[in-house]
Chain A
Amino acid sequence: MKKSSLVFNSSSRAMNTSVAGHQVSQSSRHKWNFAGSQTRRNSILVGGSNRKRNILDRNANQAPRKPVRVLDNDGNDVTPLPLYHAEPGDMPSKPGRFLDEIFSSSESDQLKSTSSFNMRSFGSFLGSSLPSSLSTTASMTKGTEDSVPKLDIPIIPPPPCGQRKRDNVKQHVTEEMLDDVVDVCLTETDTISLFDLPPLIFMSEDADDTKAIKERNLQYAELCKNRTGNDKYVERSMQTFSGAPKEKQIQTDKIVMVDEGSTIGSLLEMETCSLNAESNPELIMLTESFQHSLLVMERSIVANLFQPKLAAYRQLPIIKDPDSTVKPETEEKSEEGEESSSSPTLERLWAFSCELTRGWNITCMVWNKENPDLLAVAYGDCDSTNQKPSLICCWSLKNPTWPERVFHCHSCVTSLDFSANNPSQLAVGMYDGTIAIYTVQSRNNIHCIANSSECSKRHLKPVWQVNWSKQEITLSGEDRVEALVAVSADGRITKWLLCSNGLECIDLMKLKKTKNSKKKAVESKKKTEHMGSALTPGLCMDFHPTDSSVYLVGTWEGLIQKCSVANCHNVLETYQNHFCPVNSIEWSPFSPDVFLSCSSDWTIQLWKQECLTPVLSFTSAQRAVYAVRWSPNWSTIFAAINGLQVEIWDLNLSILHPTIVHQAAPGVTVTSVLFSRGTDCVLVGDSEGQVTVYQLKNLSVGQGKQVDSLEDIIGSAVSRYL
């Protein structure tokens, strides 16, 4: 019998024997590819058992070297036998057999301790070693049953012959050995591969990159080989700090889910879909923003074309287009033209005209009170026999090629006026006596907001002029109420108010006929009897620029009557000089006492308010003067039209002759004139539907105070009389 002991044999590879002071018997060394695994298995198994029982107990029971003896009452040594003895070479092990059943190899070597208990005593049996042969398994089994009935685990039972060995071992174990420090060395086994399945990537040999892949595989295998012991590869451990998590709660809006279904139609539907795609452009084109874009685009294009003219109008320097391809010939011509005209003249800038208005006769032009770029023009033929419909166009300076608004009226429009309080309201007086208020604001909505056709006291004869006039000051001191005052051929001056039903009117004044002062007494009787026929048509009127309760009316008889709003029976003054109908009358914007009147008797008269006879009188052509207008920029300039020509008078230069005379084109009669505020341009309307914008050139207007110059002239004129 060999002395057996717990043998902690070193493995064939790397491990050191750890038991000092004990007999270690060498065992035969075999290759133990699988034994090691068995070892581990065993250790696991045995270790598992340890959990069930107290480790110390276990050790106590197992180690034959432990000097623990259990004696019963009789003194018999009933020390439990160790569970296992490691026998060199010829101890079959049940676990070995157990495991051998699992692993096919029968080669195993004695052991290896992989104990992990660092105890004073020997390590445990956990590092159990395996006997190699299987032959003595049966005997082992027997022994196991005897020694350790409690254990369920197939622990390697000590062989029956192990008892003797145990005794031997016991003898060797002394007290001193208890105190020995046993070094238990823990080592790591090599990586034991239990299962090696080569990569199952099936590569077809025909694949293009098979070769490449194979090469890469080889390279990788070599890389792995070279990894160990290579300086390039360094193993290092790291620790990452995990920050303390913090809970944060947020809230979101509920995500709204909408179920939507759609069906994909057949090809037929696809074809129609392509048509629908075309209808989308229509949808786009109908949108408000598209129309606005069109508007802006049109204005930009037109601005490009009219830029020099508009710049001249606005008195901006005209910048020559550096890229323009204007031929040098025309430039020469224009230079020549400039040299010759150093005398005052009207230079044509452009004309507002379009297809729509071609051929119409212009009756009235008026600027918007708030937007100085907006011009309203009335087109129509005032023919008493034919009631022809007429047109009102609102033009913008930004687009002289097409009006911004077009209104159709059933009757010829004779007069227009924009309101000052509501700048979008346009008052219209018509040939049939209707007064209407239009709004120019939006393109699509209804334009006519009020009509006097239902009013009982409406005019039945042509309305020759309409005027908005600010009248009373309200109690709260806000904007003064604006009243629409109209002069009509039936001799009445009416004030119209816009109320919920429409327009309502109040008579301000009735223009009574007065022939000669001699016949006054006779007439007065007639007046009371025939109120209707005793009224003379009023042709024009103008409110005093500062005192809005006073206004002037020019009548068909040639009288100019100054009336007051407050007094509806009597006139304040009568200015009598003309013997033909007074066509136009206007207060001077600079001098509050001065007004101009023109008449079909070929004359233009300048009056001073206090003086009942005109201060100055102007005649140039032997033709009826249809309109006269003061210039809003210079006090001594006014314009007059007499059918075939436009005359610009500058009183500074001459009171006998007009400074500029501009002939209309042959066949065309000039019907309307309008100055524009802030620029040196004048607009002339003719019978062809064209509103031409002229610039006053080379007018040497004095820089002195406007009022003074006019007063001076008048003063000098008056002094001539005296």
Chain B
Amino acid sequence: MAEVEETLKRIQSQNGVQGIIIVNTEGIPIKTTLDNASTVQYAGLIHQLVMKARSTVRDIDPQNDLTFLRVRSKKNEIMIAPDKDYFLIVIQNPSD
């Protein structure tokens, strides 16, 4: 547990990382470093996106599954590690 906490701290302290959100299967954020409103917004929107991405991957090949999703935008990059129990979301601005 301490190691996990340490890793999260390290990730948070990396250059340009704006926030980390951990969401459970129901879409409820269980750990976050952003403010409440942003967290809820990210959690809801990303949940839908991941579902869509996952179904896309599986439609193309039913034996395949989504393991990682990166959304690069003008201002930042959202990285999502989906799993059946949780979503791990990190928002980073790499040019900082």
Contact = CB atoms under 8 A, between A and B. Distances in A.
A210 B3 CA distance: 71
Interface residues of B, number: 30
B30 A284 contact: yes
Given A284-B24, A298-B10, A291 B4 contact: yes
A324 B15 CA distance: 14
B1 A286 contact: yes
Contact of B94 (A282, A294, A295, A321): A321
Contacts of B44: none
B95 A323 contact: yes
Contacts of A284: 22, 24, 30, 85-86
B65 interface: no
A326 B86 CA distance: 35
Nearest to A443: B3
A305 B30 CA distance: 27
A286 B8 CA distance: 12
A68 interface: no
Interface string A392-433: 000000000110000000000000000000000000000000
Interface string A269-300: 00000000010111011110111011111101
A126 to B, nearest CB: 74
Contacts of A285: 1, 4, 22, 31
Contacts of B81: 293-294, 296-297
B4 A302 contact: no
Given A294-B7, A297-B88, A401-B10, A321 B17 contact: no
Given A281-B31, A323-B74, A293 B17 contact: no
B7 A301 contact: no
Nearest to A444: B3
Contacts of A302: 14
Interface string A323-336: 11110000000000
A291 B88 CA distance: 10
Contacts of B11: 294, 297-298, 301
Interface residues of A, number: 30
Contacts of B8: 294
Interface string B38-82: 000000000000000000000000000000101000110101010
Given A284-B24, A297-B90, A325 B79 contact: no
Contacts of A294: 4, 7-8, 11, 81, 88
Contacts of B88: 290, 293-294, 297
Nearest to A304: B94
Nearest to B87: A293
Interface string B1-42: 101100110110011110000101000001100000000000
A289 B83 contact: yes
A301 B90 contact: yes
B46 to A, nearest CB: 14
Contacts of A301: 11, 14, 16-17, 79, 90, 92
25 contacts: A280-B30, A281-B30, A284-B30, A285-B22, A286-B1, A289-B85, A290-B88, A291-B4, A291-B7, A293-B81, A293-B83, A294-B4, A294-B11, A295-B7, A296-B68, A297-B81, A300-B68, A300-B79, A301-B17, A302-B14, A304-B94, A305-B16, A323-B75, A324-B94, A324-B95
Interface of A: 278, 280-282, 284-287, 289-291, 293-298, 300-302, 304-305, 307, 321, 323-326, 401-402
Given A321-B94, A324-B94, A402-B10, 19 more contacts: A280-B30, A281-B24, A281-B30, A282-B1, A285-B4, A285-B31, A286-B4, A290-B83, A290-B88, A291-B4, A293-B81, A294-B8, A294-B81, A296-B68, A297-B11, A297-B79, A300-B70, A301-B90, A323-B74
